Amino acid sequence: CLPGVECKCSTDKNCPEHLACVNGICTDLCSLGTKCGKNAICSMQNNKVQCSCAPGFTGDAFQFCTQIDVISGEFIFNNSID
């Protein structure tokens, strides 16, 4: 795939690892809308969505990441990076 050029595909194997085959086109699934939980970062690896909690947050990145209080090590609720 060249920048600015739409790549055609029949399977994920036809796409670079940072894209997935969707309806015959290599696509960044993160750009279609977040697939990750609140306070998480979406990226594509091996043609799949990968979610990780933002720095300073912990939890299940596909569901919800909670801020960590670095002084006490306790979770802080109702804070987000939005």
Planar angle of CA 56, 63, 28, nearest 5 degrees: 90
- pLDDT given at position 77: 54
Query: DSSP code of 38?
Result: B
- pLDDT given at position 71: 65
- pLDDT given at position 75: 55
- pLDDT given at position 82: 47
- pLDDT given at position 50: 95
- Please give the chain's pLDDT, 82 residues, in tens: 656 667 899 999 999 999 999 999 999 999 988 689 999 999 999 999 999 999 999 999 999 999 987 665 555 555 555 4
Enter the pTM of the model.
0.70
**Domain boundaries, given as residue ranges, for the chain:** 12-76
Tokens of 43: 């990226």
Sheet strands (E) in 2-81: 20-22, 25-27, 40-45, 48-53, 57-60, 64-68, 75-76
